[in-house]
Structure 1
């Protein structure tokens, strides 16, 4: 069944919002003071992001492709796998979805934002940064992480076994994200998605949060450019090596 563009955009909006609610919501539950999950640990965050990708792909993979990520949309278009005339609308829907999802996280954790005095903990619930303060490592981590994500997701969803059983393929994609956060997540978070980092960073700048510190705009290009570059390479490798 072919859905209208507006239905596809609604799927991208809602799917990206769900990604933010599950993903950054798990960070808020872990990092903000006096939550019931305070200091729950890295596996809690990895699980949140894994489910945050798994559920939108299960819900909307058959509607819009569930890109929920501008890097995925751009990478497929560059490699001739997605129409260029739908790229800008998809990205706008994803960016707005990221805003909506992050606002839900902020609203539901508002008392805990007030309780938290650590600016690093607060910032972590919005955006990414490199743990060692290295821009080179930041770029490298986001590039390779997104490359693996896009290559893995396309292989799961588009190769014959996944195309025949989209639900099973969607679950595996969620586990790819879960595994990536546990394996390559230590240096940066990771973001792997320009919308997931850029729009929450904007909200971090404008929302009235005590003790929030700076929004690190001097490094914002990294979690935007690196995932897009990594995604393009990942989609290229899929198309050249595995597409049928």
Structure 2
């Protein structure tokens, strides 16, 4: 299906904003004091991100096809060889991710106002063990676990038309979080990490701590490497 440039941008902005609102929102709910979901745990976070993918993708699909992730966009382009609209998709995703992060701050405005601890983990990923090589490998492998199945799902007729693909991908994201998210927090999406990290750096959150720009390249480079590998593997094997 062909989408207009305007629809692509608007769809990716809206869909990615919803994705981040749900995803960063569940992280805020579990992390911040005076939240009713305080300390609800990793399973809650994984499902929150999965539901965010589902809500954002169903919203954006009629407008843009709902990539919502530069890794998905790059993986598809690597497979098809069509790179013309890649910058437009990524621009929409970055803008949407920043909007979603800002909306999360507004939803939890009172809790952020009473904050007494670092908050970067609400907005972006933070590795449990800081090892750039290991962290990069984790993000690369986890992204292949996302993008390669997405490409393969396109081979099953009827899934896209029925909307079932989006539901399957949503549960795939939950599975990646549960199985592969422990080491780094599973960015698997450069916009999901970089856009909110920029917003975190700009927001006037008390005691928010560092935005950790020294690590910021890992959740961008790893998913992009994984995306290219996924496109190449799919092109060669299917």
Mark yes or no: TM-score above 0.5.
yes
| Equivalent residue for 1:123, pick from 120, 124, 133 | 120
**Contact kept? 1:74, 1:232, Cα under 8 Å:** yes
5 Å-filtered alignment, 1:106-185, equals 106-119=105-118, 122-156=119-153, 158-163=154-159, 165-185=161-181
Aligned to 1:228: 224
Aligned to 1:44: 44
Give the C-alpha shift of residue 104 in structure 1. Answer: 0.4
TM-score, with length taken from structure 1: 0.92
Cα distance between partner residues in 1 of 2:160 and 2:34: 45
- Residue deviations 1:97-135 (CA, integer Å, cap 9, x gap): 00111110011111111223121xx11111112101221
- Residue deviations 1:121-152 (CA, integer Å, cap 9, x gap): x1111111210122122111111111110011
Q: Which segments of 5 or more consecutive residues in structure 2 lack a partner in the other structure?
A: none
| Equivalent residue for 2:187, pick from 191, 200, 204 | 191
Aligned to 1:201: 197
Q: Aligned in 2, Cα 1:164/1:66: closer, same or farther, shift over 3 Å?
A: closer
**Contact kept? 2:101, 2:123, Cα under 8 Å:** yes
Q: Does 1:16 align with 2:13?
A: no
Q: Does 1:76 align with 2:73?
A: no
Q: Does 1:32 align with 2:22?
A: no
Q: Aligned in 2, Cα 1:57/1:155: closer, same or farther, shift over 3 Å?
A: farther
Give the C-alpha shift of residue 161 in structure 1. Answer: 3.6
Give the C-alpha shift of residue 200 in structure 1. Answer: 0.9
- Aligned residue for 1:36, secondary structure, equals coil
Give the C-alpha shift of residue 63 in structure 1. Answer: 3.4
**Contact kept? 2:115, 2:205, Cα under 8 Å:** no
Aligned to 1:57: 57
Cα distance between partner residues in 1 of 2:226 and 2:2: 29
Cα distance between partner residues in 1 of 2:26 and 2:187: 14
**Contact kept? 1:30, 1:40, Cα under 8 Å:** yes
Cα distance between partner residues in 2 of 1:101 and 1:206: 14
- Residue deviations 1:60-89 (CA, integer Å, cap 9, x gap): 3343221111122122223325x3221111
Cα distance between partner residues in 1 of 2:158 and 2:130: 39
RMSD of aligned C-alpha atoms?
A: 1.5
Aligned residues: 238
Q: Aligned in 2, Cα 1:141/1:166: closer, same or farther, shift over 3 Å?
A: farther
Deviates more, 1:39-48 or 1:132-141: 132-141
